Amino acid sequence: MNLLCRRFLFFLLLLPYLNSGDLADERAALIRLRSAVRGRTLLWNTTTLDPCFWKGVGCDKTINRVTALRLPGSGLSGELPPNTVGSLAALRVLSLRENSLSGRLPPDLASCTVLTGVYLQGNRFSGEIPDGFFTLNRLQRVDFSRNDFTGTIPPGFDSLTQLRTLFIENNRFAGPLTTDFHSLVRLRNFNVSFNALTGSIPSRLAAFPPQSFVGTSLCGRPLLPCSGADRDKLSGGAIAGIAAGSLVFILLILTALFFSWRKCRRREISPTNQTSPASISPVHKPPEEIITSNEIVFLGEDDEFAYSLEELMGCSAEVMGKGLVGSTYKAYTESGDQVIVKRLRNVCVSEEQFRRRVEEIGSIVHENLDVLKGYLYGTLEKLLLYQPNHNGSLSAHLHGTISTPLPWEARAKIAGGIARGIRYLHSISTKTVHGNIKSSNVFLTANLDPIVSEYGLVDLVAFFDDGGGYRAPEVLECGYISQEADVYSFGVVLLELITGKSPDKAVKEDGSELAHLVRLATRDQRDIEVIDPAINDSPENIEPFLSLAISCTAPEPHTRPSMADITRRLDEIKVSQHFGKYD
């Protein structure tokens, strides 16, 4: 018995090393991938033994395995060799979109048996999809669009019964659709357009819009009927019968719409249905009016995040806060997952404008920007869905709800990350702005990397508040939001990092903007007085940041630096001061 106990204890002691061996093997596979495809993988610090710190590599520390590989638009080229991606057996999400990868898919991709999402769009992959791919029966989303895949569309797709999204447009598939897709009962998004496809569209796919089949020679619903159909052989009596039946059907629809309208009107004016967001208390189901009959539209490529409408309706929720664009809730699914739900108020655009703008926001991807995961445009409610960030907001770290003070190097790192995220936004076009930069809209990861949230939402709502001390003078005076106004707001956040003071409290307690108070102090050579006492660092190291913050918050918009200049200056300061621990 003692011998068995000793062996069991020995096994428990050995277990972490067994797991680390798996991770070491996966690290070796990633290094082989790096040698083959290069691009931004060359920036990986291969001197570190843990690949989970490499950009684009995600891990589940509970099993000590690589579970996500996200390298979109990373300058990758060449072919994917065997024993690279296929060696990541615990991989759940693979995103290599918008690169220059070519050749055939490696057959050992079939070894990634828990894959739920594969995103290879915008490459030059060619040949036929290997048969082993269709054994990945947990797949929920597949995007192979804009490649050079050939052959017929494989019937193996019909075996992927969990699929919700299948995008294979803009390839070189040819011939008829060889499967009717009847097994794909969960399929919600489908596109085979711009392939050399012929024949009729299976009835299972007839519910998808015509845009799913454009640029092909397919026929049948929802496109034109196939040739040879007996559409011109109806008798006059049959046509009259159809017309009469159609008229009755239309009258029934109009009657139903009228009574539905009256019911909605009663609900809108009834006091019992004017549920206040504040009434949704922690761990308490939100009212069903929040979720209308419209479907949730999911964006991006994290398949584990794709909840059904019914799942979201069944969530418990707690109020996280209220802001300029609406109220924010943390919802808990029955499986224990969390999702951030932002309930918009005062939406001032049409449904078409709303959907177009939200889709644009959802397409923006940067390591320092919060990714919009989905949205709901309902009759009574407009909701946005985000992934939760588990380390709290920058505001919570600076102003009390999270007690551990941030060291100065961590604050400088956070400032640099925020600047890079906003710079990327501004690089999209001269009209792209955040519009609501403040510390409560910046969330921190476990490594204290900042994630900027709520960008672009001011385009959707009518706002009336004063911004809590973050708004540029020209915004307060005439409501004009610009990239220069974003720079001002960033400067206020930088001052917040330096002083530890809340801009909102500065206005309430001192009767003046934080930027104005700091400018007065520096003019009187009292710089040291404005620095947060919790910062244990030399004032000489902080002075360059203070000077930059003051230039960002200049009263005249045209005198403020651009976000590109700000990022460059922050990088120069970082190099000159030899930042290390929080790089």
Q: What is the pLDDT of residues 323-374, one digit of tens each?
A: 777 888 888 766 566 788 888 888 888 888 888 888 888 888 888 999 888 8
pLDDT of the residue at 49? 87
Q: What is the pLDDT of residues 253-300, one digit of tens each?
A: 555 554 444 443 333 333 333 333 332 333 333 333 333 345 778 776
Q: How do strand 172-176 and strand 196-200 relate by DSSP bridges?
A: parallel
Decide: 490 and 484 in contact? Cβ < 8 Å: no
Instruction: Tell me, rounded to whole angstroms, the distance of Cα 154 from its chain centroid.
Output: 31
Which H, E and C letters describe 382-433, residue by residue? Answer: EEEEECCCCCCEHHHHHCCCCCCCCCHHHHHHHHHHHHHHHHHHHHHCCCCC
Indicate if the pLDDT at residue 414 is higher than 60.
Answer: yes
> Going by C-beta distance under 8 Å and a sequence separation of 6 or more, which residues neighbour residue 434?
422, 425, 452, 454, 455, 456, 486, 489
DSSP state string for 262-321: HHHHHHHH-GGG---GGG--SSBPPPGGGS-SSPPEE-SS-GGG---HHHHHT-EEEEEE
Indicate if the pLDDT at residue 303 is higher than 70.
Answer: no
Decide: 485 and 552 in contact? Cβ < 8 Å: no
Indicate if the pLDDT at residue 20 is higher than 80.
Answer: no
pLDDT of the residue at 131? 92
- Cβ-based burial of 265 (10 A; exposed 0-12, middle 13-18, buried ≥19): exposed
Q: What is the pLDDT of residues 171-203, one digit of tens each?
A: 999 999 878 888 888 888 889 999 999 999 998
Q: What is the band of 314 on the pLDDT scale with cuts at 50, 70, 90? A: low
In angstroms, the CA 523 to CA 502 distance is 21
pLDDT of the residue at 344? 87
In angstroms, the CA 376 to CA 359 distance is 12
pLDDT of the residue at 40? 87
Round the average pLDDT of the chain to a whole number and report it: 79
In angstroms, the CA 230 to CA 225 distance is 10
Decide: 464 and 537 in contact? Cβ < 8 Å: no
State what percent of residues in the chain have pLDDT above 70: 78
374-411: b or e for each residue (b if 16 or more CB lie within 10 Å)? bbbbbeebbbbbbbebebebbbbbbbeebeebbbbbbb
Amino acid residing at 228: G
pLDDT of the residue at 14? 37
Indicate if the pLDDT at residue 551 is higher than 90.
Answer: yes
pLDDT of the residue at 9? 41
Smallest Cα–Cα separation from 59: which of 94, 91, 97, 15? Answer: 91
Domains and CATH numbers, the chain: 14-219 (3.80.10.10), 281-386 (3.30.200.20), 394-576 (1.10.510.10)
pLDDT of the residue at 278? 31
Smallest Cα–Cα separation from 318: which of 293, 339, 297? Answer: 339
How many other C-beta atoms can be found within 10 angstroms of the C-beta atom of residue 48?
11
Least confident of 281-290, 459-468, 526-535: 281-290
**Roughly how many angstroms between the first and final C-alpha of the chain, as a whole number?**
52
Decide: 386 and 339 in contact? Cβ < 8 Å: yes
Indicate if the pLDDT at residue 390 is higher than 50.
Answer: yes
Q: What is the pLDDT of residues 470-522, one digit of tens each?
A: 888 888 777 778 999 999 999 999 999 999 988 887 655 555 678 888 888 88
